[in-house]
Chain A
Amino acid sequence: DAKTTQPTSMDCAEGRAANLPCNHSTISGNEYVYWYRQIHSQGPQYIIHGLKNNETNEMASLIITEDRKSSTLILPHATLRDTAVYYCIVRVANYGGSQGNLIFGKGTKLSVKP
């Protein structure tokens, strides 16, 4: 699986958008970009994933550059409860069953401040 590079930490003001960048310059054509977060020793929580198109769900938006070498996770209105470590992971996803596992890096520690 391709490796990712994320900033070690970021701060964000409550109510503002949090934009978390991720570089994955060696991503392959069959690899998805996944985002997870971990709030203080809880189980990692799935946020969103995408292949090449931008994606949006109830939690966040994922913007993937056209060359797929980087992406940005956007939390539109950050709250204190969004304080967590955010992981950007690239993963081969096969159809119909057995899937590639997730290899976690160190992630970005996002601190949302009042």
Chain B
Amino acid sequence: DSGVTQTPKHLITATGQRVTLRCSPRSGDLSVYWYQQSLDQGLQFLIQYYNGEERAKGNILERFSAQQFPDLHSELNLSSLELGDSALYFCASSGRRQSSGNTIYFGEGSWLTVV
């Protein structure tokens, strides 16, 4: 158990809909990362937040957005869903205060199926 919690574990929704994926980082971790893994793609970095602020952006579509709240949990919002958005979405966390060389730990992912 990495200590990173993601909900829901599985989600099936229709094209055009909007969903929200939730992530609780490890206790004390300030950074949250979101990754997407579809069948024909590897793990793609989407976005990183650090202590509530966006820190880095990867291949995140404009239809997707994320935020990190004051309690450090994060949400990934996916809107106007398309069939190609079906994927595993991973959240990861790192970056405890007063620590160096911080390791990133991943949750077990949220399976999104768009039908």
A interface, CB within 8 angstroms of B: 32, 34, 38, 41-46, 49, 51, 87, 93, 95-107
Contact = CB atoms under 8 A, between A and B. Distances in A.
B95 to A, nearest CB: 5
22 contacts: A41-B88, A43-B90, A43-B92, A43-B108, A43-B109, A46-B106, A93-B100, A96-B99, A97-B50, A97-B97, A98-B30, A98-B31, A98-B50, A98-B51, A99-B31, A99-B94, A99-B102, A100-B56, A102-B104, A104-B44, A104-B45, A105-B42
Interface residues of B, number: 35
A43 B104 contact: no
Contact of B108 (A42, A51, A99): A42
B43 A104 contact: yes
Given A41-B88, A98-B50, A99-B94, 13 more contacts: A32-B101, A38-B43, A43-B90, A43-B108, A43-B109, A44-B92, A49-B103, A97-B30, A97-B31, A97-B95, A99-B102, A103-B45, A104-B42
Interface of A, secondary structure class, is loop
B56 A93 contact: no
Contacts of A99: 31, 94-95, 102, 104
